[in-house]
Structure formats: C-alpha cells, structure tokens
Structure 1
Amino acid sequence: MDSAARLSVSSSAESPAASASSTAALGTAFVQVAAGNYYSVGLRADGSVWTWGRNLLGELGIPDTTAVSSMVAPVRLNTLPPLNSIATDGYGYQLGVARDGTVWEWGSRPGYVRETQVPRALRGLSGISQVTTLQKYSFGLGSDGSVKAWMKDQKSGDSSQPISVKGLKNIVQLQSASDYICALDSAGSVWRFTVNTSDNQLHFSVPIRIQGLPALKQISTQHAYDAYGVDRSGKVWKWSSIQASSGTEKLYVKPVSIQPSLQVQNVYASIGYMLLVSRQGEVWMYDGKPGRSAVKVKGLQRIVSASAGDTHRLAVDAKGQVYGWGANNWNEVGVARNAGDGMEYAPVPIQRPITIRINGSLLPASFPAVNKNNSIIVPVKSIAKELGGSLEASTTQEGTTYKLQYGQTTVTFRLGSAEAAIQGRSMALSSPVSMINGAVMVPASLFKQLGCQVDWNPNLAELSIQGK
C-alpha cells in the first residue's frame, strides 16, 4: 500500500493563527456580510463574493445547483467582477456594486420555484456607490449623492430604466423596508419616502425630513414603521412614522434615545431585535422592549460590522474574520449543522473560504472546497473536467464505484473509503471520499498522485492545481 502525500492547512511553517493576522493586507479579509433568510453573503477586501446556507429557492445565485438545498461552506461567485458593496432583500435576491460603479444582481427569481438568477449586470446603471433592494424595486446611491430607482419585472426578471428620485441631494446612505426608504444626507438629516407601483410604474411620495433627530452618522430600518440611527456622539435613536391618507408622511412616535449607557458605532435592525456594535468593538443584542436592557454577546471582540437576520446573525472583526450564531438548520451560520437542535448559541468562526485555481484560472465550479480534519477536500468532478479528465459512476450490489480518468491514468474509489486504486495499485488517501452538497469530494493530494502540481497557500487559503 502506497502512502499518499498529504496536503493540509499545516503544510506551511506559518501557523493559521499567525497567517490570519496578514489576511487584511492580502485581501482575504471580509469587509461586509449580509444575513438573509436562512442564507448568508459575504464580501471580501479583494472584491470577491462568497455565499453559503440555504439554496432551496436559488438564493445563492449558483448555476446548476438548485437541486442542492444548501451549501455547508462558503462558495465563491466566480463570474462576478470585484465588488465594493453588497445588499440583499433578505429573501434570496442580492445586488452588488462593482468597482466601476455598475450594478450586478443574483439570487432567487420571483415566480420561478427553485430557479436561480446567476450574476449579471443591470443595464442603464453607472456611477453607483451603494444599493438597497426590496426585489420588486431597488434604489442606487450615485457618487454625486443623488438617488436612482428601478423596477424588476416579476415575470421576465428584467429591470426597468432607472429614474431619479426628486427632492434628495447629498445622500450618503440608503435603507429600505416594506414600501418605504430612508435616506441619510451628509449633514446627518434623515429623509423618508414611500414607493408604490399601482400602474406598473414607479411612484414616490415627496421625501420628508424626520424632525427631532440629532445629526446621525448611520441608519438601519426594521419593518414598515420603525427605523433606527446612531448619532455622532454614539447614542442610538428610534423613530416611527406612517403615511397619512393624504399621501404625506406623519411621525407618530417622536424620536427617542434607547440604551443611552452604550457608546455605539453602528446599529443593525431586524424583526424583533437589533444588534448594537459598540465603539469598543463589542456586540449587544436588544429586543427593543421598554424597561429591558441590551445583552452583551459573549465571545466577540474588536467587531467592526454585523448583520442581523431573522433567525441568525453575522459579525466581522477587525481582522476580517466572520462569526455566526443562531439558527443553523441550513448551514447559514457558516459551519456544518450540528446533530442536535441545529442552533449555534454562541458565535463561531465560519469555515474559511477556499479559492481553487486550475491552470491559473478560477475553477468555474458551484461547489466549495472544504478543510476537513486538517486536509483540503475538493469537488473531484469539477476539477477533473477543467483538467480534461472525467468522472464516471457505476452502481452494483456492493455500492457505487467512481472512476476518475485523467490522461492514460485511471483511479477508482468508493464513498467512505480512505483508499483508492491507481492503475489497480492501492494507495491511502489523507481523508475518506465523501459527498457534500451532492458533490463527490476527494483529498486534493489525489491529483498530485496523478502527476499534477498541487500547491496550497495558507495565507490566501488558495489551492492551485496545474495539469501535467
């Protein structure tokens, strides 16, 4: 029996802890996250977008995998250009702003069960710096502080020609919820307006300035009425408003300061609770009920941003590491679902995303590589295809046998086995053959035995395979 070379995350003299400190400089640090309904999206400093969790309705925007109900580890959307920011409606539809100011979309398609929209650019949009979306209609913040809006046809999936929202200028942040939009301007004032599509055209109420608020530096919306913001001294404010029958906006709850003892950097609102990130990098959860105090989330330090989903939460620390906690039945937290109740009651670091390059190019695969027991395992069929090989399966009473053909070399193996046969000669595998999210996974070191050059960069978490 021949011993297979082991390709693992410890193949470098530098430890994972040491290499993590350099992730920000290398671009692998996460800078933004979005917790959707049972799924998650993350943006890294290098502009790449990664997604994980439920894919039952095509939420992840991954081609040809709507039959796969969820992704257990972050998978890269390789057809997107480098992005500067991302946004989600929370229910499967995402937008992103590319570094050239164009807008891209991906995710579930309304009206189409289990279909996905792979990443594509939206026409007629340029010079955009930020977006927010309710899927049916979306809004973009121009680099000049103006606001544009467009509709999405629920049948064709096409977007309308963008139009300008009048009455707004010098806007620096947009937030949307239900049928209304909040806009924060450079002076710290908050403007609110509603949108409707009664005749299949976009109509906006006249934006009104919310009175009684100090100058704010960040805002977050929750549902049809409530909104939150952080002022420049670190206080959190809440206000509520409705649309009167005349079409004008009416403030029905005056702005009030909440949790005044905390010095807050950012607030992230969700249904029934909010996350407060303090200036010290702590995270606090608050249910908004009178007389109740915010509760500190233990195990988090130096947090710089977060996202509050309906059932799970995400946070990013100063090194760009993402932590998740809450419901994890669909792997949305970023780790494999546990065998118990599917909950992660304390924050856990998500599985480190792994980039795969084949012959120097990104692997156009819909399945992620995974670090399993300190060994990198990869989707064998996708890699074989890019190398010019093939993978076939044959089923007998003894089970399913897989045959990997690469050039003149044949490798056979079975699920669950830590052995493979190359040209009939038995060899050990550094990790058993497994199936994850419908993909057959083998140790990356197997391709080294086939004559390929296999390199692992622990700093970039990047696997490179060069064909022979």
Structure 2
Amino acid sequence: MIMKYSRFMQGVLLSAVVMAAVSPHTLAAASTQPGDRMDSATLLSASSSAESPAASASSTAALGTAFVQVAAGNYYSVGLRADGSVWTWGRNLLGELGIPDTTAVSSMAAPVRLSTLPPLNSIATDGYGYQLGVARDGTVWEWGSRPGYVRETQVPRALPGLSGISQVTTLQKYSFGLGSDGSVKAWMRDQKRGDSGPPISVNGLKNIVQLQSASDFIYALDSAGSVWRFTVNTSENQLHLSVPVRIQGLPALKQISTQHAYDAYGVDSSGKVWKWSIQASSGTAKLYVKLVSIQPSLQVRNVYASPGYALLVTRQGEVWMYDGKPGGSAIKVKGLQRIASAAAGDTHRLAVDAKGQVYGWGANNWNEVGVPRNTGDGMEYAPVPIQRPITIRINGSLLPASFPAVNKNNSIIVPVKSVAKELGGSLEASSDQAGTTYRLQYGQTTVTFRSGSAEAAIQGRSIALSGPVSMINGAVMVPASLFKQLGCQVDWNPNLAELSIQGK
C-alpha cells in the first residue's frame, strides 16, 4: 500500500511540474465539517453581476441542482445537492453506491440519484463503502456496502432511535451523531447482519460543533475551539467508550480534520493551519501534542486530510495540496477557482466551486472522478468537471433506476429497461449470429432495435433515432426521444437538468 501510494504521489508531483496541475481514505475528508455546505447566498454570489435577467433567473432556478458537499471514498464518490438529493458514482463492486440491482453494476461514470432518500442536510462515509446521511428532520439514514456480504448493497433506510441529529461521522463498526444541542450519540453496527444497535450518549462532552473519526479514535471540536478525543471499542457485542479528554496545547480552532489516530489538522479563526501529533507517552488523563504551523503564508478556510497529504482550501477559493511532511511543501492545484469545499480520498479528490460545480482529479480506474476513464493509466492529472447529473421523472415521480441518464453528443439517453418498466412496458432481448435484438413492448406498440444502431422499427416501420443505441455500465441506453415517437410527452429542462416523460 505504501509503495502504491508513493508511486501515485510521484505521478501527482510530476504532473504538477510538467502540466502545472496536480491531479487508505481519511474519514475527515468525508465527514461533515463547518463550511462544507454552501448556503443559497454563497451560491448566488457566484453569479456575475453582469448577467442578464434571463440568465439570472436561470441561475436561481438551477440553485437546487448545485452541489453543497462531497465525500471521497475508496474508489467511489458521494455528492449532496442544495435540493437535498444524494448522488453517487464510481466503483460499486462491493455495493458501495447504495443502488439496487448491485450485481449488474460494477462502476458508474455518471452520478446516479438515490431516489428513495428524503432530502438530506449532510452526508458522511467510512471510506470503504458505508454511508450515513442526516435528513432535514434530524433522522439518520444509511446506505452502501453490507458487512459480511459480497457484492450486496444496503439500499437507503432510516436508522431507528435517532432524532435531532445535525451531523454524523462513521467508521466501519461505529458511528457517531452530533445533536442539535451539542451533545453526541454513539452506536454500533453489527458486522454480520449490518443492523445498527441502539444509540448511547457520550458523557463528558457539551457544546460540540464538529465530529471527526479515524481508526478507533473520535475527535470533537467544541464551540470554544477546544478539541477533545476519546476511544471506542466493543466486547461481547457491547459498545465501550473512554472518557473524553481535552487535548492540551492547541490554539482555539474553528475546524478540524483527522489524518489517522494520532495526527490531525485544524484551522484557527485567523486562517492559519496547524498539524499536531499526539505524543505516544501521553496518559489518558491529559493529552499533549507536537504542534506545527502549516503554510503560514496562506489564509485557509478549511483543511481536508488524507493519509500522506492534505487539501487546503483558502479564503480566496484556491486549493493547495500539502505533502504532509514536517516542514513540507504545498502545490497549488491549477484549474480551480472560487472553491468552497473539497474532499480528500486515498487516490482521488473532489472540489466544489461557489456555483456548486464538482471537479474531480486523481485515480479514475473506477470512474470515481466522475467521468469515463479516458487515459491508459486511469489517471486524471488535472481537475475535470464531473458529468452533469440528470434527474428523470416518469409520470411525475422520480425514476428508481440503478443507471443514470447521460447527455451524449447533445442527446439525452436513458436506461430503456427502467423507463419502460415505470411506464408499464417491458424490454426483452434475443441473440443470434447477427447480434442482440431488443424488443420494447409499450401498450399495443412493439419497437425493435439493435445495439450500436441509430435506427429502430415501430410496428415494422423503420424510424431514425437521434443517436445510436448504446451499452453503458451494462445498461441498454436509447435516446429519450424514442419515447416521444411512442406517443409519450417528453420534456427537457436544461436549467434543472431534468427529463420528464409522461405516458400516453
């Protein structure tokens, strides 16, 4: 793992020099942090004052489609939009994405919407396939990989016994919730069945504003800027917590990010970044640190830690990549402007700008960056915008599909089987020496077509399609306009990136 990471970092540094752009997971990057979410005022302020009234209206209409938080897991990504919807992309080999029909999808290059989730306020990931989200009513939801099961997913479901939660952080076995009153709850996840146990209160903490987790250690930042740490473990299926201890020797901080159990970062009110290491000789009663100032010339809004490096997002919206070494250096990530938040994964990273556009760079073997793999080495060395998420509504309701719609060559293509099913139709396939023929039955109408062809036959009558039939991630994709030729009403809202299909 160390060799793999070193080779990766060499590639990043080489890219930074040659191209003037930089291209195991940290829980800090994925957990909700103060400043991660952007509010409406921040998003609207990104619009140019020179915009026309029509453009301004379009920006306002599309405000809900802006991303406000991202999380970078091991080979996959999660994004939360201003409208509360959650989108996932990247690897799904272990059911990481939380979509149904898991065995049919090994990875996803475009964001797919988790349509059964209620609107959320924040998200978190353990980095290894398990996610939590806090709904607007303070309940907690889970989705992703199921422990003890291979290639099976837990579709979104609410966790019992939790309410009034504002933020969460999660490990593979344990999860923690921050109450709206500043209290902290903890609960355990059964590693055989995947069920969550009842929450218990974490005593000795109050006025907490942020939680971070790494290994079996939990860091808590209170409203006065002090950082507390405690440990968690289990025995005989019982959750055991140590007494929280305040870390001595730190300045007052406004945001923290954990790297691993003994190292962490923090940002103070002046924008200075600090890194500290817990001294191994420290006892349980008091914790002292070795404190180092990081890149003092920068005024930083937030820091996002990952093993071996950290992303620094400045107050000017720049992103710098710090190599994590004592007295180390930082490289400015070119091609990013007005960045509001970020996420630092093991091998890829994400950034959200002030308009809510997500950019990704780094390893992309599983499409975790948010675009199809375009290079031989599976790397995106410079930040690229992720594929635009597209919402599909069938007869007014969200399409519960495992596959997203995609804008391909200015034609919106959709997973035909999922759309047909919601419209009351069906799709069948038959193969011969010439290839596979698909038969779409909708009411009394029969449509046949082949993969790769831009033609179809309706009741035996040949018609031209706006683009060829294609296969993406195992799904048969057809131009949405095909359903218009079947008598459906098909509408495309470019501002909201929303496709509506009304059956006849």
Q: Which bracket does the TM-score occupy, shorter chain normalised?
A: over 0.9
Identify if the C-alpha distance between structure 1 residues 114 and 8 changes in structure 2 by more than 3 Å, giving closer, same or farther. farther
Shift of 1:199: 3.3
1:156 correspondence with 2:224: no
Identify if the C-alpha distance between structure 1 residues 131 and 7 changes in structure 2 by more than 3 Å, giving closer, same or farther. closer
The answer (yes or no) to whether the contact 2:263–2:278 under 8 Å persists in 1 is no
Secondary structure at 1:59's aligned position in 2?
Answer: coil
Greater Cα shift, 198-207 or 376-385: 198-207
Greater Cα shift, 88-97 or 64-73: 64-73
Greater Cα shift, 120-129 or 109-118: 109-118
Equivalent-residue separation in structure 2 for 1:89 and 1:199 (angstroms): 23
The answer (yes or no) to whether the contact 1:7–1:376 under 8 Å persists in 2 is no
Consecutive unaligned residues in structure 2, runs of 5 or more: 1-37
Identify if the C-alpha distance between structure 1 residues 150 and 17 changes in structure 2 by more than 3 Å, giving closer, same or farther. farther
The answer (yes or no) to whether the contact 1:24–1:319 under 8 Å persists in 2 is no
The answer (yes or no) to whether the contact 2:42–2:354 under 8 Å persists in 1 is no
Equivalent-residue separation in structure 2 for 1:330 and 1:94 (angstroms): 18
Greater Cα shift, 246-255 or 407-416: 246-255
The answer (yes or no) to whether the contact 1:380–1:442 under 8 Å persists in 2 is yes
The answer (yes or no) to whether the contact 1:402–1:413 under 8 Å persists in 2 is yes
Counterparts in 2 of 1:20-419, with a 5 A limit? Answer: 22=59, 26-239=63-276, 241=277, 248=284, 251=287, 253-419=289-455
Shift of 1:67: 3.2
The answer (yes or no) to whether the contact 2:188–2:239 under 8 Å persists in 1 is yes
Identify if the C-alpha distance between structure 1 residues 2 and 460 changes in structure 2 by more than 3 Å, giving closer, same or farther. closer
Equivalent-residue separation in structure 1 for 2:377 and 2:491 (angstroms): 38
Identify if the C-alpha distance between structure 1 residues 387 and 118 changes in structure 2 by more than 3 Å, giving closer, same or farther. same
> How many pairs does the alignment contain?
467
Per-residue Cα deviation, 1:353-394 (whole angstroms, up to 9, x for no partner):
000000000111111000101110000011111111111111
The answer (yes or no) to whether the contact 1:356–1:462 under 8 Å persists in 2 is yes
Identify if the C-alpha distance between structure 1 residues 314 and 3 changes in structure 2 by more than 3 Å, giving closer, same or farther. closer
Shift of 1:20: 10
Shift of 1:292: 2.8
Shift of 1:3: 43
The answer (yes or no) to whether the contact 1:314–1:322 under 8 Å persists in 2 is yes
Secondary structure at 1:464's aligned position in 2?
Answer: strand
Relative to the length of structure 2, the TM-score reads 0.87
Shift of 1:242: 5.0
Per-residue Cα deviation, 1:274-298 (whole angstroms, up to 9, x for no partner):
0000000000001122343210000
The answer (yes or no) to whether the contact 1:131–1:141 under 8 Å persists in 2 is yes
Greater Cα shift, 371-380 or 19-28: 19-28
Identify if the C-alpha distance between structure 1 residues 16 and 254 changes in structure 2 by more than 3 Å, giving closer, same or farther. farther
Identify if the C-alpha distance between structure 1 residues 5 and 42 changes in structure 2 by more than 3 Å, giving closer, same or farther. closer
Equivalent-residue separation in structure 1 for 2:133 and 2:202 (angstroms): 20
Identify if the C-alpha distance between structure 1 residues 11 and 335 changes in structure 2 by more than 3 Å, giving closer, same or farther. farther
Secondary structure at 2:490's aligned position in 1?
Answer: strand
The answer (yes or no) to whether the contact 1:9–1:374 under 8 Å persists in 2 is no
Shift of 1:6: 32
Greater Cα shift, 194-203 or 11-20: 11-20
Relative to the length of structure 1, the TM-score reads 0.94
The answer (yes or no) to whether the contact 1:5–1:430 under 8 Å persists in 2 is no
Shift of 1:21: 6.7
The answer (yes or no) to whether the contact 1:191–1:210 under 8 Å persists in 2 is yes
Equivalent-residue separation in structure 1 for 2:118 and 2:56 (angstroms): 26
Equivalent-residue separation in structure 1 for 2:338 and 2:152 (angstroms): 39
The answer (yes or no) to whether the contact 1:2–1:427 under 8 Å persists in 2 is no
The answer (yes or no) to whether the contact 2:245–2:287 under 8 Å persists in 1 is no
The answer (yes or no) to whether the contact 1:413–1:419 under 8 Å persists in 2 is yes
Identify if the C-alpha distance between structure 1 residues 188 and 144 changes in structure 2 by more than 3 Å, giving closer, same or farther. same
Identify if the C-alpha distance between structure 1 residues 12 and 200 changes in structure 2 by more than 3 Å, giving closer, same or farther. same
Shift of 1:46: 0.3
Shift of 1:66: 2.8
Consecutive unaligned residues in structure 1, runs of 5 or more: none
The answer (yes or no) to whether the contact 2:68–2:352 under 8 Å persists in 1 is yes
The answer (yes or no) to whether the contact 2:351–2:360 under 8 Å persists in 1 is yes
Shift of 1:410: 1.2
Shift of 1:18: 5.1
Secondary structure at 2:103's aligned position in 1?
Answer: coil
Equivalent-residue separation in structure 2 for 1:39 and 1:130 (angstroms): 21
The answer (yes or no) to whether the contact 1:242–1:250 under 8 Å persists in 2 is no
The answer (yes or no) to whether the contact 2:247–2:286 under 8 Å persists in 1 is no
Equivalent-residue separation in structure 1 for 2:393 and 2:386 (angstroms): 22
Identify if the C-alpha distance between structure 1 residues 183 and 4 changes in structure 2 by more than 3 Å, giving closer, same or farther. closer
Identify if the C-alpha distance between structure 1 residues 174 and 305 changes in structure 2 by more than 3 Å, giving closer, same or farther. same
Identify if the C-alpha distance between structure 1 residues 216 and 319 changes in structure 2 by more than 3 Å, giving closer, same or farther. same
